[in-house]
């Protein structure tokens, strides 16, 4: 089966760059998710991952653009 590209709409995200093995990526999700939850800025849409290199990944968590704490 061939991958099919899709276009995702623009969104505002909080970004954390994880430098390390993909096996440890869950730690980046936990750290960023905690920050977003504590500030109550979570927004709609999917969390995205951008693979920058073999050992560097951006985790992009949707956030609202309203007032933060």
Could you tell me the two tokens for 31?
């750290």
pLDDT digits (tens, 9 = 90+) for 14-32: 999 999 999 999 999 999 9
Whether 52 contacts 17, CB under 8 Å: yes
Q: Is 29 exposed, middle or buried (0-12, 13-18, 19+ CB in 10 A)?
A: middle
**To the nearest whole percent, how much of the chain has pLDDT over 90?**
78
Beta strands in the chain (DSSP E): 13-19, 48-53, 56-62
């Amino acid at each position: 089966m061939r991958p099919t590209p899709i276009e995702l709409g623009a969104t505002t995200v909080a970004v954390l760059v994880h430098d390390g093995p993909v096996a440890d990526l869950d730690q980046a999700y936990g750290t960023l998710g905690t920050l977003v939850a504590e500030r109550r800025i979570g927004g709609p849409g999917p969390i995205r991952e951008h693979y920058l290199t073999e050992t560097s990944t951006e985790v992009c968590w949707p956030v609202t653009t309203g007032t933060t704490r």
